[in-house]
Structure 1
Amino acid sequence: MKNKTADLIEPLIALAAICLLSLTIYAIMKPFLAATLWAGILVLSTWKPYLKLVKLYQGRRAIAAVTMMVAFGGFFLLPVIFAASDFASVATEWGIQVKSAFSNGWPKIPDWMAGIPLVGSNIEQFWLKLGDRDAETLQTIRSYVSPASQLLLMLVTEIGSGMMLLAMSLFIAFFIYLDGEELLAWIRGFMERVAGERSTELLAVSLSSTKGVVYGFIGTALAQAVLSWFAYLVAGVPNATSLGFASFLLALLPGGPVLLGLPAAAWLYHQGEVGWSIFMVLWMLVVVSSADNVIKPLLIGKGSRLPFILILFGVLGGALAFGMLGVFIGPVLLTVFYELARSWIFFPKSLPPAASSNQADRAD
């Protein structure tokens, strides 16, 4: 009995030590987890172009990695810079217009706003009371100012944190590029320990799903952002660059750019631009929305068709878990999990060993 008890205690102590070590490592890596995940996704999705650069630079891997970092920086940071510059110019123009409107006393609200059914008269009455410095109205304004300012501060903080995480992910990606083959050997070894003889097939599914969802989501979002920006620009909607960048983020959700396009169409209608308003509605509903059903399948190919609810969970849950980069990381991780689970459950003998090996080599 004593020997059996000792044989049971020793594995439990070893398991507890492993769990404690894992928790400690997680606590150390937690601040860098989002950046590391995104760096790994970027490297995996662009490994073949990197190898071509290495060949072009005659084996100088560090120079090739720096070239990839510069390309990533231009792709992710230039739109942010242009959008911020565009927003700053529009904000300055709005400030001038507001100052001019208040130069001759308290202005009237636009007629179209006062004519909104059901709420237009209430808006006009509230505006007039605000101009008369009504105490109750001012107190109502103050009750909303504090939450709004906190929300704005949180948004600015989140954007700044996202930019820092993006810069950190590029820094991490540099070293993953340099040691990519060794890292892949570690992953293959881990998969063999976990999945046994099916490890090659499941690894191939993971790699192809990751690349498929990155190409599909980001490629479609980029196409929809460009199409939306073009519509805003030709229709004369202010802040077209910022709206195009916002469309890129919203395009991760099916129909997301329409959430910006339809209010822009309403603004054009109230400006008297009925033709451009109709153009905006048709362009968003027909051209931009259809890009999600045409471009994404072409880029993903035979990859995953992740259900809408999982896409929604991936975007929103990823943002809550990892911040701004989570809108990209969440769908990728859910897609990989979805494809692995589907392959494991429904296709237990889907590929013979030779086919699995060949698919894994193509995924590399």
Structure 2
Amino acid sequence: MRRLSDKPVPPSSPMYEHDRLLVRILLLSLLGACVWVLLPFMSALFWAAVLAFASWPLMRGLSRRLDGRNTIAAAILSVGWILLVALPLVWVGMGLADHVRGTMDLVRTIQVGGLPPAPEWVARLPWIGDRLVSLWQTIDARGAAYFDSLKPYLGQVGNWLLARSARIGGGVLELALSLVLVFFFYRDGPRLVYLTEKVLLRLIGGQAGHYMQLVGDTVHRVVNGILGTAAAQAILALIGLMIAGVPGAVGLALLTFALSLIPVGPPLVWIPSTLWLVLQQEYGYAIFLGAWGLFFISGVDNILKPYLISRGGDLPLVVVLLGVFGGLLAFGFMGLFLGPILLAVAYNLIRDWMASAAEPPSA
């Protein structure tokens, strides 16, 4: 005989609604806990996903050549990214350490033996040449006193450099982790896309495909903007390094291209090269390369990248500019992608809503 408690609860009863609410609260709590666990790795996961999505045609072609063996194709591409990105970073770190040691030796030499004679071209500068030579001689005569007065500021500069070095080191670790995680995005990419599409279908219905395409196009344009800007910075670095006579200009230009993928990457090439010219007492070329690096190699990033990102899409340039710079300020370097994506989705949502509101009602 069936008991009264075994009867099914009708969907319209308050008890059924309470059960559904409890299930939703538990699911949201579980989702929040998962996000909390993944939060330290969110940046690395984001970069791995972007890298896998942007280079997915390579994965598709390589998997086709390997007769559908996705795991082997994913491993080959992941190792290729590690060789292309991680090894140049290690090389530039070792070179930067050598430049720092050379700079410290130069400072100690100047502190003990004084400055070398002022270059002749400094005296020939119009209007300010004589003043610069006089200042040079004054610093040479009172070098020890100047160094003593600069010690507090040197400590502040050292702390600033230490903080920036720690930040750059953290970014390099995140980049290394993302290069490892990209293997799993390559291997399980189709399943992740299918899962994302099913979730969006449950959330927004038939518009899921449209907005997935919108996000994909925006990511492709941002990646093309980053790669195009990196190529332009590499070409400008090659020109400046060849004019200044820095040895290994081609290798340093390739390193500039690789380092353009991370924040403050290109200055890690042209600043040590400028310091090397100073150590070689090539002061004119050092000033030229420093100005060239500041205004052209690093300055082109703020102009060319937004233009390339907005090219080929229906987004206004001002939306792209606000997305790029606002995203960088709000989310760091990850905002370079998040900013344009968020504004692109919001812009299209508002445009679709206004278009539907402008349509006359049917009879």
Please report the TM-score for the alignment, with normalisation by the length of structure 2.
0.70
C-alpha distance 272-25 of structure 1, shift in aligned 2 (>3 A): closer
Query: Residue 331 in 1 paired to residue 339 in 2?
Result: no
- CA distances 1:241-282 after superposition (whole Å, capped 9, x unpaired): 7798568767999xx98xx79x97xx99x93469x949x769
Point out the more displaced range, 89-98 or 116-125: 116-125
Counterpart CA distance in 1 for 2:164 and 2:348 is 39
Counterpart CA distance in 2 for 1:120 and 1:10 is 84
C-alpha distance 127-251 of structure 1, shift in aligned 2 (>3 A): farther
Query: Residue 271 in 1 paired to residue 279 in 2?
Result: no
C-alpha distance 342-72 of structure 1, shift in aligned 2 (>3 A): same
Tell me which residue corresponds to 2:360.
none
- SS of the aligned residue for 1:302 comes to coil
Query: What is the CA distance between 1:296 and its match in structure 2?
Result: 5.5
Query: Residue 317 in 1 paired to residue 320 in 2?
Result: no
Tell me which residue corresponds to 1:302.
313
1:331 alignment partner AA: L
The question of whether the paired residues in 2 share the 8 Å contact of 1:213 and 1:303 is answered with no
Tell me which residue corresponds to 2:6.
none
Tell me which residue corresponds to 1:20.
29
1:341 alignment partner AA: A
Pick the aligned partner of 2:177 from 158, 165, 168.
Answer: 168
C-alpha distance 116-79 of structure 1, shift in aligned 2 (>3 A): farther
Counterpart CA distance in 1 for 2:16 and 2:137 is 81
2:237 alignment partner AA: W
The question of whether the paired residues in 1 share the 8 Å contact of 2:221 and 2:309 is answered with no
Query: What is the CA distance between 1:337 and its match in structure 2?
Result: 1.1
Unaligned runs of 5+ in 2: 1-11, 357-363
C-alpha distance 348-248 of structure 1, shift in aligned 2 (>3 A): farther
Tell me which residue corresponds to 1:185.
194
Point out the more displaced range, 8-17 or 307-316: 8-17
The question of whether the paired residues in 1 share the 8 Å contact of 2:214 and 2:345 is answered with yes
Query: What is the CA distance between 1:26 and its match in structure 2?
Result: 1.7
Pick the aligned partner of 2:244 from 227, 236, 239.
Answer: 236
Higher relative contact order (CA 8 A, sep 6+): 1
Point out the more displaced range, 57-66 or 122-131: 122-131
Please report the TM-score for the alignment, with normalisation by the length of structure 1.
0.70
1:157 alignment partner AA: A
1:171-250 map, 5 Å? 171-217=180-226, 219-236=227-244
1:1-20 map, 5 Å? 13-20=22-29
C-alpha distance 6-120 of structure 1, shift in aligned 2 (>3 A): farther
The question of whether the paired residues in 2 share the 8 Å contact of 1:87 and 1:242 is answered with no
The question of whether the paired residues in 1 share the 8 Å contact of 2:225 and 2:305 is answered with no
The question of whether the paired residues in 2 share the 8 Å contact of 1:221 and 1:252 is answered with no
The question of whether the paired residues in 2 share the 8 Å contact of 1:229 and 1:243 is answered with yes
The question of whether the paired residues in 1 share the 8 Å contact of 2:244 and 2:288 is answered with no
1:1-364 map, 5 Å? 13-95=22-104, 97-98=106-107, 100-102=109-111, 105-107=113-115, 110=118, 112=122, 131-132=144-145, 138=148, 141-217=150-226, 219-236=227-244, 271-272=283-284, 277=288, 289=300, 293=304, 297=308, 301-302=312-313, 304=315, 305=317, 306-319=319-332, 327=333, 329-348=334-353
C-alpha distance 282-149 of structure 1, shift in aligned 2 (>3 A): closer
- CA distances 1:132-184 after superposition (whole Å, capped 9, x unpaired): 48xxx73x544334433332222222222222211211221111111111111
Equivalent residues, number: 326
Counterpart CA distance in 2 for 1:18 and 1:151 is 44
The question of whether the paired residues in 2 share the 8 Å contact of 1:220 and 1:292 is answered with no
1:301 alignment partner AA: G
2:283 alignment partner AA: Q
The question of whether the paired residues in 2 share the 8 Å contact of 1:220 and 1:291 is answered with no
RMSD after superposition? 4.7
Unaligned runs of 5+ in 1: 320-326, 352-364
The question of whether the paired residues in 1 share the 8 Å contact of 2:229 and 2:305 is answered with no
Counterpart CA distance in 1 for 2:336 and 2:45 is 16
Query: What is the CA distance between 1:187 and its match in structure 2?
Result: 0.5
